[in-house]
Structure 1
Amino acid sequence: MSDWDAWIGRELVQEDVLDPALARRWCGTFDLSPPVDGIMPQGIHLCLCTPEAPQSALGEDGHPRRDDSATSFFPPIPLPRRMWAASNIAFLAPIRVGTEIKRVSRIASIAEKEGSTGKLGFVDVEHVTSADGAEAVRETQTLVYRDSVSPDAPMSPPGLGQGTFDITAWDAHTIVTPDPRLLFRFSALTFNTHRIHYDLPYARDVERYRGLVVHGPLMASLLLQLAARELGENKLKSFSFRAVSPAIADEVLHLAMRRGDDGVELGTFASDGRQCVKANATF
């Protein structure tokens, strides 16, 4: 029996409204025009039913503190560094501006493993997002918890190398440079207070990142928009992504997509070809 078995099956229910102001802020963040028909692009669910912990309940890293109380949704795994490792998303129906949103989240599994950098804790969370009472998105999100790093640990990721990204292997390609303004706005949209995305001294000196870290869901959102430009809005049936390596603010990021027999493959890459996010989709 695991120390965390009591958390498996624990649920959290949140409610929200996709109001016009949020829709405009989301579109403005990505330089998109608000939809004339009110149907939002895929990925908007990432900005709905966001964390609601009071300021006094935040930990040093900015995430809500975890404890062994009955009200703590996440288990208090004694590993301080948290990352969004992966998501598997099923798109069931579009979400329209003005819709009443309900999200039911459930702890599906908890596992502890030993990795090359030490102990790791994995938590799978199942989210069911409904719009006006009908299921719109199902998502299984994997979070990973890691041990702290020493103040003299090597910076992550390593500095950019001499390689280049080969665009000829992909059907569609675009370049973005996520800067601190974009990271700040996405943190605000998702009410994400994780300090690695906006607090450079913390990101560098405590978690030993080479700079501000680009959110995994932000890169996923950019890939969803690339797919929409190539395939049409709200055409994806499923989308899965996982973090491979950190992307750093103010550095060029390549977004790429190619078709395969079973769907499409997508990814984000640093300028030297290092992959940051790996993704697949069906439509």
Structure 2
Amino acid sequence: MSDWSDWIGREQRSADRLDEALAARWLATLDLGAPDGADMPQGIHFALCTPQAPTAMLGEDGHPARSDDPASLYPPIDLPRRMWAGSEITFLRPLALGDRIDKLSRVTSIEEKEGRSGRLAFLKLEHSISANTEAAIRETQTLVYRDASPSDSPLVPPEVTDSLFDPAAWDRVRTLAPSEALLFRFSALTFNTHRIHYDAPYAREVERYRGLVVHGPLISTLLLQLAADLVGPNALRSFAFTARSPAIAGDTLHLAVRQEGDTLDLAALNDAGELLTTASATPGGM
């Protein structure tokens, strides 16, 4: 087991502005109309204070190359594959056009485990986002690192051959097939250079995915949009999601939500009815 104690508590600050151009690109990417007033839809923070590593500093997978530089927020974990495993988000106030955005990111824990597929490392980050110096969003993000798959391993996930999804179990369902153009636009909006989202030969031949992988925060954004359709814009106090299995561009994706007492139960499922992402949300005044 590695000793990552020097990384616990490391911080990184960044700043941005929610301007009209970014807002227009966000709405266009998601096929949303302009909202009433200046408040933007929940989830737009994924496109603010994005990573800005120079192109020369990117590694083979498109992520910033790992380094033990004291200025680096991310530790040089010696496991080559990385994914966004989930987030727990608290919304304190809406983000509005013109807001100055400040973000403080802090490493809170690094834990190594042995899983069925080998070594895993879990990195937790706390993100505190303020708008015009007022606390707006708190997010705890979990990243997971794992070993590379063998070059001859089967492509994942397997193709779905039977349509078994049952919409009757949900209050509202939206069905779509995320396109390559949608993934490309979301990568551009969030400055996400991980090649599994736009480089199909790399995704298949190196990381052994069956196709381009739909971003976890993109699925979460679409689920937030579905929740807003049900309970209204900027109505959620909290939202948490966990990625369970990759969604592949072009495959049928069912986004679903149902009311469970005082909370919302949300999910993204494939055409076989298998859970790809699970989420929960709590409405509340903001």
- Could you say which residue in structure 1 is the equivalent of 2:225? 225
The number of residue pairs the alignment matches comes to 283
Q: Deviations over 1:197-249 (max 9, x none)?
A: 00001000000000000000000000000000110000000000000110000
Counterpart check, 1:43 vs 2:6: no
Distance 2:112 2:137 in 1: 28
Please give the secondary structure, in 1, of the residue aligned with 2:6. Answer: helix
Code of the residue aligned with 1:72 in structure 2: it is S
Matching of residues 83-102 of structure 1 within 5 Å: 83-102=83-102
Please give the secondary structure, in 1, of the residue aligned with 2:53. Answer: coil
Please give the secondary structure, in 1, of the residue aligned with 2:23. Answer: helix
Distance 2:116 2:225 in 1: 34
Code of the residue aligned with 1:54 in structure 2: it is P
- Could you say which residue in structure 2 is the equivalent of 1:202? 202
C-alpha displacement at 1:69, in angstroms? 1.4
Counterpart check, 1:144 vs 2:140: no
C-alpha displacement at 1:174, in angstroms? 1.0
Code of the residue aligned with 2:17 in structure 1: it is V
Distance 1:155 1:204 in 2: 7
RMSD: 1.0
Worse-superposed segment, 268-277 or 216-225: 268-277
Among all aligned residue pairs of Structure 1 and Structure 2, give the percentage whose two residues are the same amino acid: 57
Using structure 2 for the length normalisation, give the TM-score: 0.97
Matching of residues 204-283 of structure 1 within 5 Å: 204-283=204-283
Distance 1:262 1:28 in 2: 32
C-alpha displacement at 1:72, in angstroms? 1.3
Using structure 1 for the length normalisation, give the TM-score: 0.98
Matching of residues 163-182 of structure 1 within 5 Å: 163-182=163-182
Code of the residue aligned with 2:75 in structure 1: it is P
Q: Deviations over 1:79-130 (max 9, x none)?
A: 0110000100000000001100000000010000011111101000000010
C-alpha displacement at 1:161, in angstroms? 3.5
C-alpha displacement at 1:176, in angstroms? 1.3
- Contact 2:162 / 2:271 at 8 angstroms: preserved in 1? no
Distance 1:80 1:65 in 2: 11
Structure 1 residue ranges (4+ consecutive) displaced by more than 4 angstroms after TM superposition: none
Q: Deviations over 1:241-266 (max 9, x none)?
A: 00011000011100000111240100
Counterpart check, 1:6 vs 2:3: no
Please give the secondary structure, in 2, of the residue aligned with 1:109. Answer: strand
- Could you say which residue in structure 1 is the equivalent of 2:119? 119
Distance 1:119 1:260 in 2: 36
- Could you say which residue in structure 2 is the equivalent of 1:82? 82
C-alpha displacement at 1:158, in angstroms? 1.3
Gaps of 5+ in 1: none
Counterpart check, 1:104 vs 2:104: yes
Distance 1:142 1:29 in 2: 25
Gaps of 5+ in 2: none
Distance 1:262 1:8 in 2: 35
Distance 1:2 1:199 in 2: 32
Distance 1:262 1:86 in 2: 22
Please give the secondary structure, in 1, of the residue aligned with 2:211. Answer: coil
